[in-house]
């Protein structure tokens, strides 16, 4: 039985913010291009607990238990972790992305395993990369690409800072693969794809992706394909995508409402 007396959640704002908000000399180095981002992050969640086994020394007479039977102070690491993540623009709207995340055990009692919710786990919680870690390639044309290639399954698609002409190393330089995965070509050459409604979102300061969205919107205008283009304040960032997703869903809700009448 465990009784938590103090939850030091504020340590996240104090210790982690102080440690991780300090400018990194590696990130700020001139050798690091502006199209590369690296972030050191973490979460510190320590607690001071009172724990007891709920046993009494008198319960097992004539063979009484020995040791401390009462409440004992304890410190738990809980869900504490730190990580390093980043991305690098490799051209064609693609980015190399990585993340290495590790659990931190700063106390003798790690707490329950985040994997099995148990204190007995063969996994080493604090091993390097023990949490969500990956290496891969990310691109921004998945939603429109899928919807335009499968109009029998999708009636609409929301593009958040996407691009519409596939290129770059993700396709191994294959012209046929790039053409097959370019929504601009697919919509123009596939009449069924012209029935999909496209919602395009880009930041006003995100020049590359804004120009791409505006060019695709112009093509959709020529083909008389239903679409909407939202230009939001900001760049290539989560604020634009979060608000753009909300606007896109509102737009689709209104469209569905019209069809439901």
The verdict on 127 and 189 lying in the same domain is no
Residues 6+ apart with CB under 8 A from 139: 92, 93, 94, 95, 163, 170
Backbone angles phi, psi at 158, to 5 degrees: -110, 120
Backbone angles phi, psi at 38, to 5 degrees: -135, 130
Share of the chain above pLDDT 90, in %: 30
* pLDDT, tens only, 143-186: 899 999 999 999 999 999 887 988 777 777 788 888 888 999 99
The verdict on 71 and 126 lying in the same domain is yes
pLDDT at 88: 85
Give the Cα separation of 15 and 183 in Å (integer): 47
Backbone angles phi, psi at 230, to 5 degrees: -110, 120
pLDDT at 33: 44
**How many structural domains does the chain have?**
2
The verdict on 126 and 148 lying in the same domain is no
Range of the domain at 117: 2-137
Contact, 52 vs 1, CB < 8 A?
A: yes
The verdict on 10 and 126 lying in the same domain is yes
Place of tokens 């679409």: 227
Q: Is-above-0.75 flag for pTM?
A: no
* pLDDT, tens only, 199-213: 999 999 999 899 999
The verdict on 115 and 197 lying in the same domain is no
The verdict on 105 and 150 lying in the same domain is no
Residue 195: pLDDT over 50: yes
Give the pLDDT mean for 125-140.
Answer: 71
The verdict on 64 and 149 lying in the same domain is no
Residue where one domain finishes, among candidates 91, 109, 137: 137
Residue where one domain finishes, among candidates 102, 119, 137: 137
DSSP H helical ranges for 101-237: 142-149, 175-180, 183-189, 207-223
* pLDDT, tens only, 89-99: 777 666 788 88
The verdict on 122 and 14 lying in the same domain is yes
């Amino acid at each position: 039985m465990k009784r938590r007396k103090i939850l030091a959640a504020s340590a996240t704002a104090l210790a982690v913010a102080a440690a991780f908000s300090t400018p990194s000399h590696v990130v700020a180095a001139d050798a690091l291009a502006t199209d590369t981002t690296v972030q050191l992050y973490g979460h510190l969640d320590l607690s001071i607990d009172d724990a007891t086994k709920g046993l009494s020394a008198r319960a097992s007479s004539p063979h009484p238990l020995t040791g401390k039977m009462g409440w004992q102070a304890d410190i738990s690491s809980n869900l504490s972790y730190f990580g390093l993540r980043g991305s690098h623009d490799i051209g064609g709207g693609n980015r190399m992305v990585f993340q290495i995340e590790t659990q931190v055990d700063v106390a003798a009692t790690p707490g329950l395993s985040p994997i099995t919710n148990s204190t007995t786990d063969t996994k080493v919680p604090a091993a390097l990369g023990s949490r969500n870690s990956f290496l891969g390639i990310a691109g921004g044309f998945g939603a429109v690409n899928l919807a335009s290639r499968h109009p029998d399954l999708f009636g609409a698609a929301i593009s958040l800072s996407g691009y519409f002409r596939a290129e770059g190393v993700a396709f191994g330089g294959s012209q046929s693969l790039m053409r097959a995965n370019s929504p601009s070509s697919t919509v123009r050459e596939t009449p069924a794809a012209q029935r999909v409604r496209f919602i395009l979102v880009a930041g006003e300061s995100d020049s590359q992706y804004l120009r791409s969205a505006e060019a695709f919107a112009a093509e959709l205008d020529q083909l008389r394909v239903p679409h909407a283009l939202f230009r939001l304040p900001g760049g290539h960032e989560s604020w634009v995508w979060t608000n753009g997703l909300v606007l896109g869903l509102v737009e689709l809700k209104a469209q569905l409402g019209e069809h439901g009448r």
